[in-house]
Structure 1
Amino acid sequence: ITLPLSAPGIAFSLVLVFLLAIGELSVPSFLRYPVLPVLSFTQFAASYNFGAATAAAVPLAALALLGVLIESALLQNRVFTFRSIGRGLLISLGRWNPIAAAIFGLLTVALVIFPLSALFADAFSLTTLHDAMQRAGASIVRSVIYSAIAATILMALGFLLAQLTRDRGQRLVNFLTLALFAIPGTVLSIGLVRLWNSPMTWFIYTTPALLILGYTAQYCAVTTRLSLAGFFLIPKTFDEAARLSGASWTQRLFRIFVPLSNRTLVCAWLAAYILCLRDVPIALMTASPGGDPLPARILTLMANGAPPMIASLCLIMAIASLIPLVILARVIPSRGITG
C-alpha cells in the first residue's frame, strides 16, 4: 500500500535531486572535477568562448527538459497541499529501527555536524571574523538586499500566477516554471547574458537587475507551487459568493485570497529568500562588477584566500541560511501553510 501510493513522489524526488546535482557548480568547481557545469562556466567566464560554453550547456538543458517531462508524466499536474492531521502516519521498522536510527545518526554526524564543527573551529576567532567582514562585508549586505528583493518579487509573482492559473492554464505554467527551475544556473546565466548584453539594455546588464531577473526565472516554480498549494485549501465557495455579490477580481484578491494566504505568502517569501541567498551560478555569472553577492565572493576568495577567513565567511553564510530556515520550519508544521 505505502510504496505504490508513494511511488510518484519518490520518483519525482529522485528526478529532482538528479537535476539539481547534475547542474551543481560550486562543489565540483571547488574540488576540481571537470563536469559540464564547470566546463561551461570556464569557457564562458575565463576563455570568453561563447560557442564552447553553449555547446557544453546544451546537454544540461536537454536533461532538464527530460526531467520536466518525466515529472509531468509522474505527477500528472497534481498539486500537493500542506495540511496538519494531528499525528502523521507512523511505520514501525521493528527490529530494524535501531539500525536505521544508527545509520541516519552517523550520516547526520558525518555530513552535517562534523563539517559545521570544522568551520566553527577555524572561524571562531575575532581577528578572523574581523578580517572576513572587511574583505566581504559589502557582499554580505548585497546578498541580503538582493535576496530580499528577489524573494519579494517571487512571492508576488508566484501568488499572481497561482491565482490566474488556479482553474485553467495550470499545466502550461507548471511546465514552464519547472523547466526554468530544472535548467542549471550556468545555462540560465549564459542565456541571460547573451540576451541582455547589448547597448540598448545596459540599464539591466550593468546593474543588479540582471541578477534579480536570474533569481526570479530560476525559482519562480517554488513560489508558484507553494501558492497553488495554499489556494487549494481555500474553499471555492468564498470566491463564488464574492462573484455573486458583484466583487471585482481585485477586490476578491485583496479581501479574500490575500488575508487567507498570509502563512502561504510568508512560506513562499522565506523559501525564495533561502534559495536566492545560497545560489552560486547565477550570482557568479550575472552579478555586475564590484557587486558580487556573498556566495560568489566566497568562491572567488577560495582560490587565494586564507582558509580561516574562508571558513568564517562560510559560517556566516550557513547562519544566514539557517535563520530563515528555522523560521520556515516554525511556520509550516503545526497548522499547514494556510493556518
Structure 2
Amino acid sequence: MGWALALRRREEPLLLAAAGLALAALALSPLVALSGQLASAEALRHAARALSAPRTWLLLLSSLGLASAVTLLALGIGLPLGVLLGRADLPLRRLALGLHAFPLFLPPFLLALGWFHLLGRGGIAASGPGGRLLFSAPGAVLVLALALTPVVTSLVAVALRAVDPSLEEAALLVAGPGRAAARILLPLIRPAIALAALIVFSLAFSELGVPMFLRVAVYPALVFSRLGGVDFAPGEAFALAAPLFAVAAGLLAFERRAAGRRSFAVLGLRSREVPDLRLGRWRLPAALFAAGASLLPLLPLAALALRAARGGGFAELPRWIGASAWYSLLDALGAGTVVLALAIVIGHAAARRRRGGAALDALAVLAFVTPAAVLGVGLVAAWNRPSLQPVYGSSAMVGLALAARHAAVALRTAAVSFAQGSAHHEEAAAIAGARFLRRLGRILVPLHARGLAAAWLLAVVFCLRDLETAVLLYPAGQEPLTVRIFTLEANGPGAVVAALSCAQVAMTAAVLALGAALLLRRGR
C-alpha cells in the first residue's frame, strides 16, 4: 500500500522521465551513435581524408553563406509584412496571411520546380536572364527566401497580438505608425524574431532539394552523396557530418540565449481585442505590398498545375503515384501522434518549469536545428543493426526519424498553450487529491485541447513536407511522395512530375483544411 501511494505521488516525474527516455531514444541516440562511429581508427582515417580537402570547407562556408542570405532576406520581407498582417488596418488580412503562409508547408523544391516551369527553358514566361538567375546561388536564395519568409511573418503576426496595446497607444501620441512599430512593437517581440531567424536558418541550411535541383553545390548534398548517392562511402559520411553537428550546437546556443523560455510568453494570444495600427496615407502602398507578397509564392504552384494540365500529367497520375501518398500520410500521421504524446508531457513540464523540462526542450530543439543529413547519418549508425531490421527495414523508420526531427514543433506549440493557461485549476485538483494522470486527462488536455490539436497539426504538416530526412531512410518500394517526386524530377516526364507535385499540394491543403475546420469547431 505504501509503495502504491509513493508511486501515485511520483506520477508526474516518472511520466516525464519516461517521455524523456523516449525523446532521447529518438533524438539523442543517433548523435551518440554518430560519435561512436567517429571514435574508431577507420573513421579517423576517413575524417582525415574528407576534412583535409579544401573543397569540403569551401562547401561548408558556401552553405552557411546561403542560409545566412536566405535568413536576412526572409527577415527583410517578413518583419514589415508581419506587422502589416498582424496589426495594420488592412482589408482581408487573414486571407492574405493564409495565402502567404501556405507555401511554408510544402517542400521548397516543389516551388523551385514551379519557378522552372515559369521562368526556365520552355516555361510560361521563359527568358534567358530569368533562367540563368534561377539556376544560380542567388536564384536558390530567392526561392528559399520566398518559401521560408512565412515563418517570420507568422511568428511576428502572432507575437504582436500578445503585446500590451497601451504601450503602442502611448507611442502613437508622439510618433507615426512606422516609428511606433520600429521602436516599440518589434523590440518587444525580439524573442519571437530570434526564434523565426533560427527556424529559417536551420531549414535553409538543411535544404537538399532546392540546391540540387538548381545545380548549386551545398554541404548537405556532399553528405547525401556519400550515404545515399552514387559516391557511397558511409565512413566519409560520418566524418563529413561532424562539422554540421558543430553548427547545430552553435544554433542551439543561440536559441537558448536569444529566445529560450521567453518565447512561451511572447507567442501567447491575449483574449482581449487589440486595436489596429492606423496607416493613414500609407494604407494603399502597404496593401499592395501585402497583396504582392501573399500572391507571389502562389505563381510557381499555378505554373505546376498548368504544366501538368497541358502535358496530360493528371491523366497519368494514378499510374505514377502508386502508394507513395499513403506512405506520406501514414508516416506523417504516425510521427505527429508520437510527438504529440511527448509534447503533452514535456511541453507541460517546460511551461511549468519542472525539473528536467528545460533540458528536454533543449534536446528537442537540438534535433530540429541539427541538419537532416547529420540526423539521417546518425539514425543509420544507431538503427542499422541485425536485431533492429524489422524497424530499420520498414516505413516505421521514416516515421521515427520524422518524429525525432520535428518533435520541437509540437513541443513548443504545446508549451506555449500550457504557459498561457492558468495553473490554478490543476493546483486545486492536486489539493483535492487528484493524481497527475487524472489531472492530465480530466483538466489539462481538455482545457488546452485546441492548442494541442494545433501542435499535432503543425507536426503532421512539417513531416509531410520533409524530404531531407526521408530520402536517406525510406525502404525500397515504400517511398513517400516527396521522395518519389525528387527521384523522378531529373529523368521523369515533366508533366507527370508536375502532376505529382500538384498531388502533394492538394494533400497538404486537405490536411490543413481538415485541421483548421476541426480547430475552428473546437474553438466555438
Q: What's the TM-score once normalised by structure 1's chain length? A: 0.91
Task: Show the counterpart of 2:88.
Answer: none
Equivalent in 257, 261, 265 of residue 448 of structure 2: 261
The 1-side partners of 2:285 and 2:427 are apart by 53
SS at match of 1:32: coil
For the pair 1:278 / 2:461, whether they are aligned, the reply is: no
Distance in 2, Cα, partners of 1:338 & 1:70: 35
Answer yes or no: is 1:167 the counterpart of 2:350.
Answer: no
1:72 alignment counterpart: 256
Match of 2:274 in 1: 88
* Conservation of the 8 A alpha-carbon contact between 1:158 and 1:220: yes
Alignment identity in percent?
33
Hey, what does 1:202 align to over in structure 2?
A: 389
Quick one: distance in 1 between partners of 2:203 and 2:257?
A: 19
- The answer to whether the 8 A contact 1:280-1:296 is kept is yes
Match of 2:335 in 1: 150
CA distance in structure 2 between the aligned counterparts of 1:167 and 1:3, rounded to whole angstroms: 27
* Conserved 8 A contact 1:227-1:264: yes
CA shift at 1:299, angstroms? 0.1
Alignment check: 8 A CA contact 1:159 1:227 kept: yes
Cα offset, 1:312, TM superposition: 0.6
SS at match of 1:232: helix
Match for 1:31: what amino acid? Answer: L
Secondary structure of the corresponding residue to residue 60 of structure 1? helix
Asked whether the 8 Å contact 2:311–2:495 carries over to 1, the reply is: no
Q: Name 2:373's counterpart in structure 1.
A: 186
Asked if 2 retains the 8 angstrom alpha-carbon contact of 1:264 and 1:338, the reply is no
* Structural RMSD (CA): 2.3
Q: Select the residue among 474, 483, 495 that pairs with 1:296.
A: 483
Of 7, 28, 31, which residue of structure 1 is paired with 2:214? Answer: 31
- Conserved? CA contact 2:332–2:464, under 8 Å: yes
Cα distance per residue 1:252-288 (max 9 Å; x no partner): 1111112212212211121111011110011111111
Measured after TM superposition, the shift of residue 86 of structure 1 is 4.7
The one-letter code sitting in structure 1 at the alignment partner of 2:245 is: A
Offset at residue 320 of structure 1 (A): 1.3
Q: C-alpha distance in 2, partners of 1:43/1:182?
A: 21
Query: Rg bigger for which structure?
Result: 2
Shift in CA distance, 109/245, structure 1 to aligned 2, threshold 3 Å: closer
Q: Is the 8 A contact 1:204 1:210 kept in 2?
A: yes
1:151 maps to a residue whose letter is: G
Judged with a 3 Å threshold, the aligned counterparts in structure 2 of structure 1 residues 89 and 288 are, in CA distance, closer, same or farther, namely farther
Count how many residue pairs are aligned between Structure 1 and Structure 2. 336
| Structure 1 residue 111 displacement after superposition | 2.4
Find runs of 4+ consecutive structure 1 residues off by over 6 angstroms: none
The answer on 1:243 being equivalent to 2:430 is yes
501, 515, 521: which one aligns with 1:314:
501
How far is the alpha carbon of 1:93 from its aligned partner? Answer: 4.0
Q: Return the offset for 1:52.
A: 2.8
Task: Give the gaps of 5 or more residues in structure 2.
Answer: 1-183
Aligned counterparts of 1:61 and 1:187: Cα–Cα separation in 2: 7
Does 1:110 pair with 2:293?
no
Structure 1 stretch 91-100 or stretch 243-252: which is displaced more? 91-100
Q: Structure 2: how far apart are the matches of 1:103 and 1:164?
A: 41
The partner residue of 1:52 within 236, 240, 260 is 236
CA contact (8 A) 2:410 2:459 kept: yes
Tell me if the contact between 1:262 and 1:338 (Cα under 8 Å) persists in the aligned partners: no
Q: Aligned residue for 1:139? A: 324
Tell me how far 1:292 sits from its aligned partner: 0.5
CA contact (8 A) 2:195 2:255 kept: yes
Alpha carbons of 1:107 and 1:247: their partners in 2 closer, same or farther (altered >3 Å)? closer
- Partner SS state of residue 304, structure 1: coil
For 2:282 and 2:236, the matched residues in 1 are separated by: 51
Is the 2:209–2:486 Cα contact (8 Å) retained in structure 1? Answer: yes
Contact 2:224-2:373 at 8 Å conserved across structures? yes
**Gaps in structure 1 of 5+ consecutive residues:** none
Maintained 8 Å contact 1:271/1:328: no
